[in-house]
């Protein structure tokens, strides 16, 4: 989302439209039991179309897991969640098992960045 860097700040209306689309994308992932866990501007693209916008959420999904049990099986006691620190939810920082809420937290930080 290099557009955040270029634009410096979005209007509230623009930020709202983008934020709603991000949340719809996150909701879709969560409905499939996928947690992105590394949501940040670099993993969100804004493509303006003639009839609106397309906001794909990308990433390598390397730290995305299908459910808590698969996380417990794949992580060792020395493993850490490899998320970008400035977008980490408190439960990740406090070393608790992250849930889908980490994506909502990161979405809020992206919204904050768009508005400021």
- Alpha helices, DSSP H, located in 36-94: 68-74, 90-93
Asked whether the beta carbons of 29 and 57 are under 8 A apart, the reply is yes
**If you count them, how many residues does the chain have?**
116
Asked whether the beta carbons of 61 and 70 are under 8 A apart, the reply is no
- Residue in 13, 27, 38, 103 annotated catalytic: 38
38 is catalytic: yes
Cβ atoms within 10 Å, residue 81: 19
How far apart are alpha carbons 113 and 93 in whole angstroms?
Answer: 20
Residues that are catalytic: 38
């Amino acid at each position: 989302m290099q557009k955040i860097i270029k634009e410096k700040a979005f209007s509230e209306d623009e930020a709202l439209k983008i934020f709603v689309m991000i949340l719809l994308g996150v909701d879709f992932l969560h409905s499939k039991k996928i947690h992105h866990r590394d949501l940040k501007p670099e993993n969100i693209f804004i493509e303006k179309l003639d009839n609106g916008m397309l906001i794909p959420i990308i990433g390598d999904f390397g730290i995305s897991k299908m459910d808590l049990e698969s996380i417990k099986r794949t992580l060792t006691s020395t493993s850490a969640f490899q998320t970008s620190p400035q977008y980490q939810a408190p439960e990740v920082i406090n070393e608790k098992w992250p849930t889908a809420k980490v994506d909502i937290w990161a979405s809020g930080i992206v919204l904050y960045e768009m508005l400021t």
